[in-house]
């Protein structure tokens, strides 16, 4: 048996042992242990080093409020830092290391920071590194020099670099009632609601349901409270309308009773079962939330209160009663309230020797005194601990007379040898979730605590959360919160009548470092220093001193910090107010938030011909969610060689490209033509059935939104195409206009992007290829003129063919049902083989459109007008359209606007999109941009590097020399500004 | 946040997109009143308090909704289908 | 006529993918309707559309928000104001509706190639779907036959409850493979079988 394990008692299973390691040393514990309880049972009291000062630290708490015992778990290559040892269940093979120490926990060179004293006081970083530069030692330059060393010395655990192989999932849930916390109040609420058939979720952050029932010596319904809790949970778990979630921290309370919770599904197992996630992130939409989150005990602030061996009284009670662990052999208690007497008794019953109970109050209740007598301890009222001694472990405390009203210390210190000191500074209800929900906390003078305001229509409180500390009252509040009405159903209890209302003592001000926030090494002197430096607001105090930040979020430090601040300001605590708690209540793994949004199961869109592309050597490229072929490279080809070959072959013979990703919207109904006239700059009502037209859309503010062709398939039936990237945006724009502005128009919009597979077949041989495989229609110039549409079949599959061109060649878009896409594509490539048809990807497509001077999303960047792109000819003067009234505003027609031009590289070196264009080259001090390149390529037709650009007054600069200035990529050199029509400006080829 | 779509019922805010401040009137399409167009496109009331908004249930039935929401408390007071509110302008 | 090639073809591998204890909680399958058609009624014309559904398919759709009906081979449900999705194992539904619904009543849009239908059935179907969609799938909230419109990230989905423990999920074809893979991944926890 371990040295500190009691021979009996506790809810652990002594019949089985679990082996784990801490800092490389092997230990054993039992099922039911946390890392903290198991280490304590093994006599390990030093668990970490503090954040700034590297002071040795042991356990302060036993649950989610633990600020000190943060450890790193090693799982294979992955490491997870900053896990609270008090929340970590041990399992066989668990490997844990301590943090923030170098080279080892026992011998830490960083501990020299302790000697610095005031050096690392409040605002140290601001003062040292953000001040003006005076000499070499101040300001941001000094910060940049020092950062590396400071980051290494300070801080919490080190994050790993290996990928986390764990599986995370997210889950949505709905319920009438979410009960947060499974102490007696929470269990009673769930039981009451469950029995009347409500849909319930009961969430408990610990592994074991029951909360205080697990360590109190009270009875409920004639049985020990922990047995009652276990039986009640078993009963709840059997109800079909109840879901019980152990190991589930409710960490966020958002608008509309949307609750975020993290379930640690397999963190307590050596390995998960197949398909089981490590953690599951729950988003719960609850009708009502029952907040039965209990209360946290507060530490007292006195010199040396952070020495390993000094812990919260209730934490020690929990270790003894719930885990059967004795936190020390010789124990003293320091308290300002009666609650700690109960803790002292629990330790006595576990086998510890309680040496002294030191109470800052002069008088104590009879009940408390009676309990004290049973512990066998010496009762020292009107006294306080003013110092502690010991290195990595407490061995002695100094006790002096103390006046609770004035805070005066008097008399000579008396030394008492102890190895464990329990402290209790009163209780703070865990109102964090209610505070997140917007509740403003109210100061309660009797309990010296912030209590939640009255219940809202979103949540109901019960038990310790309300500041209700008696078992009977907690059960009764829980019962009511769950909708129970017949109070005769409430179980009988046995309980002592201790009143935990404390004396208003938060600090014992004596010489030495007295810690308020243990996690951030914030002392009472730091709080007073902040006050002397002019910080008045509690929100500023928090940020300046770091009190209550990071993983701890002020669970133990909030109220003592406020009390000391109030005292310094000469105000009452309620006048100072409290900070609003923010999510998360407890740390959340990033992996759980990302879940399936990350990695191989992230959504992606594939075209109907995707598998053909992969099988035929395409290099894929992700464009938004779409995966599209970039090139169909031959063995040994570079990307540039591949696209140049593809583009050249297309211009000389024929090429085929997958254009299925183009946005396609069915615009149907008797008012469809009218609607298109309103949203396009040009006319569509005049478009005959069986023809397509290029259209341009503006935003309401007159700037260009998108372009594309729209096909009239029947009188009331149009097929609109949009650019791939803008498909969603255009759909929303049109839906808004129809739904909100013109609801009287009879038009239906449907996304049919996925209904159609599209193959663009381009090049002088394209017509011959179609003629060879299309049946049911002719494809000659007469039957299928430029912008004409025909219906036919290819290898028995119905197709719709529109003659239109993006490449500038004679070209067609062949549309078939998506499920026939690969079939039709294969028939086209087979028919094209004798004509030298090649598949081409996005790079060749881009090259040909740059040569042709066609615009895409790179140019339509939300800042350009139709005139900037030389599309004035598309602006109808016969009708109003969206944007027509705004497009002629002064700034949008100014002659020096950025306009679309072509760019020729004059040094025969490739150009890059994004590069600036300047009139004078200055490599050392690049300046004077007159525009930028939007796209660039090698043009096989022109035999040189070309690009498109938006250049100030570009139209008037044709023929001028300028320079590329691209300092990031170190590309500088001469270029010529030319017309954007590099190739076949008259369009003879596509009309041929 | 939960928005109760009149068609789909209560749904998570992640299914919706905010589109526009509500209760605004688009000038008649043939209007040449530049000031009216400027006001329609650029001016917003941005009320602190009860505020009329246009949302789209983009991840659901895709209807546009007129949402009356308190921008201070985030409480949603009323939701109706935009095309049924009759608050929108009818072009001449 | 040429058969449609399923976007799931390379990834749909029939078999049992059970849990370590050999149990399976859901069955996954692709339903391949011959026809999927969208019907949209102009305001005040919904009755005409419902009549057309009755006439063409013999299905009675009550017409309330999201209401619908499903048989072994046919289904119909509302997914937006005035809008219905109908599907049939037979091809040719679009042609029938194009004749039955005139321009005064509403519009008919063929989506037979554009949507992929994935069926998830079994005692854990609600649990697995809840991993993807922020929607209450419990029976009181979603009755048999009823449908909903929702979204998982960028994946729009229309979901019809076609049985007590059975749901048909209509997704855009381009997302189907991605969604299928994610669904299999999410089903591993409860064990699954692919038909």
Collect all residues of chain A within an 8 Å Cβ-Cβ radius of residue C91.
none
Task: Verify whether the Cβ–Cβ distance C66 to B7 is below 8 Å.
Answer: yes
Task: Verify whether the Cβ–Cβ distance C172 to A752 is below 8 Å.
Answer: no
**DSSP H helices in A163-240:** 184-195, 225-238
Cα–chain center distance at A154: 25
Task: Verify whether the Cβ–Cβ distance C178 to A604 is below 8 Å.
Answer: yes
Instruction: Give the mutation candidate from A440, A701, A735, A739 for the B interface (greatest B CB count, under 10 A).
Output: A739
Classify A693 as helix, strand or coil.
strand
pLDDT band at A682 (very low <50, low <70, confident <90, very high): very high
Q: Report ipTM (2 d.p.).
A: 0.98
What does residue A746 show for φ and ψ, rounded to 5 degrees? -90, 90
Distance from CA of C187 to the nearest CA of B (A): 23
Collect all residues of chain B within an 8 Å Cβ-Cβ radius of residue A744.
90
- B8 interface with A at CB cutoff 8 Å: no
Q: What is the per-residue pLDDT for B87?
A: 42
- B9 interface with A at CB cutoff 8 Å: no
Burial class (CB in 10 A: 0-12, 13-18, 19+), A575: exposed
Distance from CA of B45 to the nearest CA of C (A): 30
Collect all residues of chain C within an 8 Å Cβ-Cβ radius of residue A174.
136, 138, 141
C67: CB partners within 8 A, 6+ apart: C61, C77, C78, C145, C146
**What is the percent of chain A with per-residue pLDDT over 90, rounded to a whole number?**
81
Collect all residues of chain C within an 8 Å Cβ-Cβ radius of residue B11.
134-135, 150
pLDDT digits (tens, 9 = 90+) for A535-556: 888 888 888 888 887 777 888 8
Instruction: Give the mutation candidate from B6, B39, B62, B80 for the A interface (greatest A CB count, under 10 A).
Output: B62
Task: Verify whether the Cβ–Cβ distance C5 to A751 is below 8 Å.
Answer: no
**What is the percent of chain A with per-residue pLDDT over 70, rounded to a whole number?**
94
Whether A704 and A696 have beta carbons less than 8 Å apart is answered as: yes
A687: CB partners within 8 A, 6+ apart: A673, A693, A710, A712
Query: Per-residue b/e over A251-269, b at no fewer than 16 CB within 10 Å?
Result: bbbbebbbbbbbbbbbbbe
Edge-first strand listing for the sheet containing A353-359: A310-312, A420-424, A330-335, A353-359, A378-381
Q: What is the per-residue pLDDT for A78?
A: 87
Distance from CA of C114 to the nearest CA of B (A): 18
Cα–chain center distance at A667: 39
pLDDT band at A156 (very low <50, low <70, confident <90, very high): confident
Cα–Cα distances (Å) from A298 to A506, A507, A559, in that order, read 9, 11, 8
Burial class (CB in 10 A: 0-12, 13-18, 19+), A925: exposed
Task: Verify whether the Cβ–Cβ distance A666 to C177 is below 8 Å.
Answer: no
- Nearest by CB to A743, which of B2, B76, B88? B88
Q: What is the per-residue pLDDT for B86?
A: 47
Pairs across A and B, CB distance < 8 A: 66
Looking at per-residue pLDDT, the higher value among A285 and A579 belongs to A285
pLDDT band at B92 (very low <50, low <70, confident <90, very high): very low
Collect all residues of chain C within an 8 Å Cβ-Cβ radius of residue A660.
174
A154 has a pLDDT exceeding 60: no
Low-confidence stretches of chain C (pLDDT beneath 70): none
Instruction: Report the C-alpha gap between A634 and B32 in whole angstroms.
Output: 58
**What is the reported pTM?**
0.93
pLDDT band at A959 (very low <50, low <70, confident <90, very high): very high
pLDDT band at B89 (very low <50, low <70, confident <90, very high): very low
Task: Verify whether the Cβ–Cβ distance B20 to A740 is below 8 Å.
Answer: yes
Where does A152-217 show beta strands of DSSP type E? 168-180, 200-203
Mean pLDDT across chain A:
92
**DSSP H helices in C41-172:** 46-57, 93-100, 125-130
Nearest chain A residue to C83, by CA = A748
A39 has a pLDDT exceeding 70: yes
Collect all residues of chain B within an 8 Å Cβ-Cβ radius of residue C141.
9
pLDDT digits (tens, 9 = 90+) for A323-359: 999 999 999 999 999 999 999 999 999 999 999 999 9
DSSP notation for A875-933: --SSS--TTTTTTTSGGGS-TTSEEEEEEEESSS----TT-EEESS--SSS---EEEEE
- C65 interface with B at CB cutoff 8 Å: yes
- A826 interface with C at CB cutoff 8 Å: no
Average pLDDT over residues A660-666: 97
A344: CB partners within 8 A, 6+ apart: A313, A331, A333, A354, A357, A371, A372, A375, A377, A422
* Upstream peptide bond of A584 is cis (omega within 30 degrees of 0): yes
């Amino acid at each position: 048996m371990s040295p500190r394990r009691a021979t009996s008692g506790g809810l652990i299973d002594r019949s089985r042992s679990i082996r784990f390691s801490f800092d490389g040393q092997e230990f054993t514990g039992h099922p039911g242990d946390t890392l903290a309880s198991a280490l304590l049972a093994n006599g390990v009291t030093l668990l970490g080093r503090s954040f700034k000062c590297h002071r040795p630290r042991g356990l302060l708490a036993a649950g989610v409020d633990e600020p000190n015992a943060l450890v790193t778990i090693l799982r294979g290559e992955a490491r997870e830092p900053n896990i609270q040892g008090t929340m970590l269940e041990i399992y066989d093979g668990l490997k844990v290391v301590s943090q923030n120490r170098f080279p080892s926990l026992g011998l830490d060179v960083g501990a020299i920071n302790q000697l610095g004293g005031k050096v690392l006081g409040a605002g140290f970083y601001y003062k040292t590194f953000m001040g003006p530069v005076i000499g070499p030692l101040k300001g941001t330059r000094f910060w940049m020099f020092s950062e590396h060393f400071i980051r290494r010395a300070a801080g919490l655990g080190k994050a790993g670099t290996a990928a986390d192989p764990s599986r995370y999932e997210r889950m949505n849930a709905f319920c009438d009632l979410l009960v947060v916390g499974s102490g007696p109040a929470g269990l009673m609420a769930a039981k009451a609601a469950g029995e009347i058939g409500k849909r319930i979720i009961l969430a408990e952050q610990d592994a074991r349901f029951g909360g205080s029932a697990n360590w109190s010596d009270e009875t409920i319904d004639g049985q020990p409270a922990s047995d009652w809790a276990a039986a009640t949970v078993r009963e709840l778990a059997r109800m079909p309308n109840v879901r019980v979630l152990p190991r589930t921290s409710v960490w966020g309370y958002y608008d509309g009773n949307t609750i975020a919770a993290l379930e640690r599904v397999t963190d307590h197992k050596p390995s998960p079962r197949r398909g089981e996630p490590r953690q599951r992130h729950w988003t719960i939409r609850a009708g009502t939330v029952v907040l039965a989150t209990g209360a946290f005990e507060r530490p007292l602030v006195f010199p040396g209160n952070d020495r390993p061996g000094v812990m919260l009284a209730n934490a020690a009670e929990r270790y003894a009663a719930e885990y059967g662990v004795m936190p020390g052999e010789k124990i003293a208690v320091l308290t300002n309230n009666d609650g700690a007497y109960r803790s002292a008794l629990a330790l006595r019953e576990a086998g510890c020797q309680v040496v002294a109970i030191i109470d800052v109050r002069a008088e104590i209740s009879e009940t408390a005194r009676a309990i004290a007598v049973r512990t066998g301890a010496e009762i020292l009222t009107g006294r306080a601990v003013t110092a502690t001694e010991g290195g990595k472990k407490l061995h002695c405390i100094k006790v002096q007379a103390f006046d609770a009203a004035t805070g005066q210390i008097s008399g000579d210190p008396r030394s008492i040898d102890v190895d464990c000191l329990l402290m209790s500074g009163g209780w703070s209800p865990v109102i964090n979730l209610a505070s997140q929900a917007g509740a403003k906390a109210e100061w309660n003078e009797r309990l010296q605590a912030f209590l939640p305001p009255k219940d809202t229509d979103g949540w109901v409180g019960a038990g310790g959360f309300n500041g209700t500390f008696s078992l009977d009252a907690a059960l009764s509040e829980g019962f009511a919160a769950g909708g129970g009405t017949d109070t005769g159903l409430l179980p009988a209890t046995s309980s002592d009548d201790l009143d935990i209302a404390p004396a208003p003592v938060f600090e014992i001000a004596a010489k030495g470092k007295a810690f308020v926030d243990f996690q951030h090494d914030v002392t009472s002197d730091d709080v007073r220093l902040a006050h002397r430096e002019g910080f008045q607001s509690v929100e500023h105090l928090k940020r300046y001193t770091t009190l209550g930040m990071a993983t701890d979020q002020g669970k133990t430090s909030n109220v003592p910090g406020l009390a000391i601040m109030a005292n310094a300001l000469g105000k009452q605590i309620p006048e100072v107010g409290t900070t609003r708690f923010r999510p998360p209540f407890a740390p959340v793994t990033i992996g759980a938030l990302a879940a399936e949004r990350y990695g191989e199961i992230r959504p992606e869109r594939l075209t109907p011909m995707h598998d053909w592309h992969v099988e035929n050597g395409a290099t894929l490229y992700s464009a938004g969610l779409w995966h599209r072929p970039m090139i169909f490279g031959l063995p040994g080809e570079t990307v540039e060689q591949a696209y140049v070959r593809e583009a050249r072959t297309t211009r000389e013979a024929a090429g085929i490209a997958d254009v299925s990703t183009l946005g396609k919207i069915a615009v149907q109904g008797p008012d469809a033509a009218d609607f298109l006239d309103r949203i396009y700059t040009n006319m569509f009502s005049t478009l005959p059935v069986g023809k397509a037209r290029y259209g341009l859309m503006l935003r309401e503010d007159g700037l260009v939104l998108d372009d594309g062709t729209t096909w009239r398939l029947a009188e009331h039936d149009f097929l609109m195409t949009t650019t791939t990237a803008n498909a969603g945006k255009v759909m929303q724009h049109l839906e808004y206009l129809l739904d909100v502005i013109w609801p009287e128009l009879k038009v239906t919009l449907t996304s049919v992007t996925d209904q159609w597979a599209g193959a663009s077949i381009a090049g002088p041989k394209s017509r011959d290829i179609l003629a060879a495989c299309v049946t049911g229609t002719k494809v000659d110039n007469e039957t299928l003129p430029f912008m004409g549409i025909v219906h036919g079949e290819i290898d028995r599959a119905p197709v719709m063919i529109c003659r239109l061109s993006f490449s500038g060649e004679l070209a067609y878009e062949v549309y078939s049902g998506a499920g026939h896409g690969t079939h039709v594509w294969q028939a086209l490539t087979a028919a094209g083989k004798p004509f030298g048809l090649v598949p081409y990807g996005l790079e060749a497509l881009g090259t040909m459109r740059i040569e042709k001077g066609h615009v895409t999303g790179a140019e339509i960047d939300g800042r350009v007008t139709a005139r900037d792109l030389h599309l004035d000819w598309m602006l109808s003067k016969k009708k109003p359209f969206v944007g027509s009234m705004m497009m002629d505003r002064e700034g949008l027609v100014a002659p020096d606007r950025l306009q679309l031009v072509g760019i020729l590289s004059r040094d025969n070196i490739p150009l890059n999109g994004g590069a600036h264009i300047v009139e004078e080259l200055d490599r050392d001090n690049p300046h004077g941009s007159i525009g930028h390149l939007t796209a660039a390529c090698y043009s096989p037709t022109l035999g040189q590097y070309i690009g498109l650009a938006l250049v100030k007054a570009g139209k008037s600069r044709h023929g001028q020399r300028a320079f590329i200035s691209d300092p990031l990529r170190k590309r500088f050199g001469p270029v010529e500004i030319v017309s954007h029509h590099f190739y076949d400006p008259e369009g003879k080829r596509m009309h041929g | 946040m939960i928005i109760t779509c009149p068609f789909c019922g209560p749904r998570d805010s992640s299914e919706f997109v905010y589109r526009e401040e509500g209760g605004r009137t688009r000038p008649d399409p043939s209007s040449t009143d530049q000031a009216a167009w400027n006001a329609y496109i650029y001016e917003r009331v941005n009320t602190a308090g009860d505020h009329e908004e246009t949302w789209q249930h983009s991840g659901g039935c895709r209807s546009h909704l007129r949402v009356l929401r308190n921008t201070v408390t985030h409480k949603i007071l009323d939701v109706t289908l935009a095309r049924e509110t009759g608050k929108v302008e009818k072009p001449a | 006529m040429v058969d449609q090639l399923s976007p799931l073809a390379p990834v749909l591998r029939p078999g049992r993918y059970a849990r370590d204890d050999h149990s399976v909680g859901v069955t996954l399958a692709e339903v391949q309707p011959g026809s999927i058609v969208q019907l949209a009624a102009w305001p005040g014309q919904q009755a005409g559309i419902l009549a057309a559904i009755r006439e063409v398919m013999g299905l009675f759709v009550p017409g309330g928000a999201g209401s619908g009906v499903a048989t072994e081979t046919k289904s119909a449900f509302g997914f937006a104001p005035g809008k219905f999705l109908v599907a049939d194992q037979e091809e040719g539904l679009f042609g029938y509706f194009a004749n039955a619904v005139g321009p005064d009543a509403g519009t008919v849009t063929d989506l037979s190639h554009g949507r992929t239908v994935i069926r998830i059935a079994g005692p854990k179907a609600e649990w697995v779907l809840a991993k993807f969609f922020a929607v209450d799938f419990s029976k009181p909230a979603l009755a048999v036959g009823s449908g909903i419109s929702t979204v998982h990230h960028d994946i729009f989905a229309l979901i019809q409850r076609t049985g007590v423990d059975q749901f048909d999920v209509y997704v855009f074809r381009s997302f189907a493979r991605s969604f299928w893979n994610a669904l299999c991944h999410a089903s591993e926890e409860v064990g699954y079988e692919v038909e």
